[in-house]
A = this chain, B = another copy of it.
Amino acid sequence: MKKLPRKTITRVLLYIRTLEALAKEKRFLVSSKQLSEITGLSDVKIRKDISNFKKIGKPRVGYKTLDLKRTLENYLLQNNVVHLALFGVGNLGSAILSYPGFHQNKIKLVAAFDIDRRKIGKTINGVKIYPVERAPEIIKKYHADIGIIAVPKEHCQEVADYMVLSGLSRILNFAPYSVSVPAKVQVRSIDFTIKILSLFCDAHK
């Protein structure tokens, strides 16, 4: 099957979550129209996204919630659990560590790193905080897939370098700074400030 565009992947992940919620409410059938109302995306787009996988819907009826969920998950996640390594256990990092949402979902935080001696050795929410020097060792041991940057922007390039050195090839960066990494490494950012300003400007004009 052809590689899906990133935008499609993002939407499909949203469908999976929505289907999960529907199943919890014992709604075992759902149409693209209903999914459209819940997610705010157009029904055509939803059907088109789903049609990337297989013919699973029935005209006049819709989709079986659990079948559709299984199909989508099967293609996208294949029963994998994503292992995260967090760098920087400050205000934001602590919030991420305490977040129970990740454990319910297909994400597991396997280790945290910091340079602050007072934090090292502690365990938050079952996740131990290590000194950054041990990152290469620990990341290999726990098979971390994705590194999260939650250190001040002044340190985020060095942390990114360290992540690459430790064998991570995917990075999610919360710092307001564009890090440079080798081509094979993928970086995405979550930038609160730009999100907020962009919402302001967009609506404003």
Which of under 10, 10 to 19, 20 to 34, or 35 or more describes the interface residues of A?
Answer: 35 or more
Question: Closest Cβ of chain B: how far from A167's Cβ, in Å?
Answer: 14
Q: Would B13 and A192 count as touching, CB distance under 8 A?
A: no
Question: Closest Cβ of chain B: how far from A8's Cβ, in Å?
Answer: 10
A interface majority secondary structure = helix
Q: Would A80 and B200 count as touching, CB distance under 8 A?
A: yes
Q: How many monomers of this chain does the complex have?
A: 2
Instruction: With CB as the reference atom, state the residue of chain B lying closest to A37.
Output: B180
Q: Would A196 and B172 count as touching, CB distance under 8 A?
A: yes
Question: Closest Cβ of chain B: how far from A183's Cβ, in Å?
Answer: 11
Instruction: With CB as the reference atom, state the residue of chain B lying closest to A40.
Output: B178
Listed in ascending order, the chain A residues whose CB lies under 8 Å from chain B are 3-4, 6, 9-10, 13-14, 17, 38-40, 76-77, 80, 82, 84, 91-92, 94-96, 98-99, 101-102, 105-107, 145-146, 169-170, 172, 176, 178, 180, 186, 188, 190, 192-205
